[in-house]
Amino acid sequence: MAIQGVAGANHEIAAREFFEGYDVEIVPCITFEELFNRVRQDRSLYGIVAIENTLVGSIQSNYTLLKDSGLEVIGEYKLRIKHNLMALPGVKMEDLTEVRSHPMALRQCEAFFRDYPHIRITESDDTALSAKDVADKQLRTVGAIAPELAASLYGLNILHKGIETNKKNFTRFLVVSDRGRTEIDDLLAQNRINRSSIVFSLPGNEVGSLSKVLTILAFYGINLSKIQSNPVVGHEWEYLFYIDLSFNNYTRYIQALDAVRPLCAKLVVLGEYENGRQSHED
């Protein structure tokens, strides 16, 4: 399973929970671009990719990577994000002069650090990587914000659990594969497909074109659960629309796509899958 980040990252937690009951081998990737490339090159690999967060919104660059990769979405998982402050064994809160983590994690823990103005906050590339650096380099005045799994893997002690300000913090992950059609056909045979992700563009300067597409989807009983627009690079004021759909009738969903295609300059189905589970809030 290809993940972005090192072992112990939230991507690993989401991967293991999505494939609960299976023996999952983790393949760490430094960047999302590397992740998509690895999955394309090795058809035996799945990948798991963060696509949106309930606090900070969509990760727009990952929509573009997904579209360009040719991979298919075969599942989703919604992970409750828990941030923990950790340090080397024996280190106490008063010993810390610096805390490192991913910028998103730091923003989600700002309220906690108002009580510790002496601690310098430093951005890093990854939550779990911050924990690994503290352990590898034996940094006794530096703490890290990372998942509990990272503390266990790298031998760190958790000084404070759950320091995120908002406890309703979830990240939605998409599971991608280069053999997605096989997975989709299996779900379809079991009548389990009830979600879809698509991307489309519209003819330029045509009045009400987006409204017409949305009206047709509503007519066929298709629920629009998310819409994300990204600019088309090199084409001023033109946009790609990424849409997540949910439905109860697969046949009606296919009919809806057939009905909207003539209105679109281009329409691509990124994946069809089952509504994903959500991890517990506790």
Dig out the tokens for 126 from the structure.
């990854």
Does the active-site annotation cover 219? no
Question: In one letter, which amino acid is 115?
Answer: D
Q: Exposed, middle or buried by CB within 10 Å (0-12, 13-18, 19+), for 276?
A: middle
Does the active-site annotation cover 171? yes
Point out the catalytic residue in the list 18, 32, 171, 200.
171
Q: Which residues contact 256 (CB under 8 A, 6 or more apart)?
A: 216, 217, 219, 220, 222
Q: Which residues contact 76 (CB under 8 A, 6 or more apart)?
A: 172, 173, 174, 175, 195, 273, 275, 276
User: How far, in Å, CA of 211 to CA of 202, rounded?
Assistant: 11
Per-position DSSP letters for 119-184, written without gaps between them: SEEEE-S-HHHHHHHHHHTT-TTEEEEE-HHHHHHHTPEEEES---S-S--EEEEEEEETTHHHHH
User: How far, in Å, CA of 46 to CA of 26, rounded?
Assistant: 10
Point out the catalytic residue in the list 18, 36, 173, 200.
173
Active site members:
171, 173
